[in-house]
Amino acid sequence: MCVQVVLTAGDSGAPPPAEPGLAPAAETSSIPRLPASELSYARFCLEFMEPNAPVLVEGATEGWRAAVDWVTPCGAIDFDFLRQHFGHAQVMVTDTARCECHNQQQQQQQEEEEETRASSTLLTPGPLWYCKDWHLAAFDPQYQAYRCPSFFFDDWLNELYDAREQPQPQHDVRTADYRFVYLGAKGTSTSLHSDVLRSFSWSANVVGCKLWRLLPPQYSHLLLDLHGRIPAWDFFAEDLEGLYPRLEEARSHIVTVVQHPGDAIFVPSGWWHTVENVDDCISINHNWLNGHNVHWTWALLRLERRQAEEGIEDCRELCRQDRPSPFFRKLGHFGRGR
């Protein structure tokens, strides 16, 4: 699951400790690739979770039911199987043909361009639907599509979900789990983000190749707009109005990774990333927290609380619950009078 976090800008060219508590990651131009059989849990803790460094684990989907059921003999997605077994599921889809701009002006500009293109050529590019964040494990607990690889097992976030006695609404972010299926055609993509709550994420490809671009957290400030607030939606966003003056510098620190079927990528806390599906792809993704990263989540929650408090400082008095404000009194009066 992905969310955008609003950050504060660093004040100099040097990488600032822009994100409280997030230690700078070692500079790297590629990430290690290790066969699952050669990676012990102790080594994963020591070399990857603790230093918050990415790694690609090969052969992570061996023995998975999904790696058999969801794949045709020629290695494509078996849509017949998916349709038969899960055709009744309701899922969230995103049209990734439209760029996920966070800036209203750019969004409007894109819409205008699309309108112009449509009226001049009478050809509108079709939508590119990407099914994201489908909670399959919770939707059908009997059908065990995969086993969580042992490296990613120490998971306090999903344990919390499992500990609940009552089934919870799947699409309610307050109660849903953080175990997902991503299903997208060639060309679908996920725009620039860092993961929810500064969690770790792992993603294992069952079918297809994905192209990942990763940026360590100490360069977060390079993604921000002129005002130091909104991060760019893509590392390669066309910056016509000079809104993202340090994006080019950010690009020089990107680490690019090609993920093949069977590979699981470990995305550490606070690392920014984009993902492109080079083929039709289906993958399993989890977000998780444990003793190696939960302090960053705590730091983020405290920061956001402080920002929220500062944001309402000017109307704090009006919001006090023990004293109805003149505004609400007026509204109440207005309602009664009609």
Binding site for ligand AKG (CB under 6 A): 2, 182, 190, 195, 201, 203, 210, 267, 273, 275, 283, 285
State the CB neighbour count (10 A cutoff) for residue 231: 22
CB of 140 to ligand AKG, least distance (A): 21
Closer of 206 and 267 to ligand AKG (Cβ): 267
CB of 275 to ligand AKG, least distance (A): 4
* Spatial contact of 271 and 28, defined as CB atoms under 8 Å apart: no
CB of 155 to Fe ion, least distance (A): 16
What is the C-alpha end-to-end distance of the chain, expressed in Å? 45
CB of 260 to ligand AKG, least distance (A): 14
Q: Which of the choices Fe ion, ligand AKG, none does residue 158 contact, using the CB cut-off of 5 to 8 A by kind?
A: none
Handedness of CA 176, 180, 183, 187 (dihedral sign): positive
Q: 256 - beta bridge partners?
A: 213
Q: Which of the choices Fe ion, ligand AKG, none does residue 182 contact, using the CB cut-off of 5 to 8 A by kind?
A: ligand AKG
* Spatial contact of 304 and 237, defined as CB atoms under 8 Å apart: no
Q: Which of the choices ligand AKG, Fe ion, none does residue 285 contact, using the CB cut-off of 5 to 8 A by kind?
A: ligand AKG
What is the side-by-side order of every strand in the sheet holding 272-277?
Answer: 2-3, 189-195, 272-277, 210-215, 255-259
Closer of 211 and 299 to ligand AKG (Cβ): 211
> Residue 190: which of 223, 212, 218 has the closest Cα?
212
Closer of 2 and 300 to Fe ion (Cβ): 2
Q: Which of the choices Fe ion, ligand AKG, none does residue 205 contact, using the CB cut-off of 5 to 8 A by kind?
A: none
Closer of 71 and 193 to Fe ion (Cβ): 193
Burial class from Cβ neighbours inside 10 Å (0-12, 13-18, 19+) for residue 4 reads middle
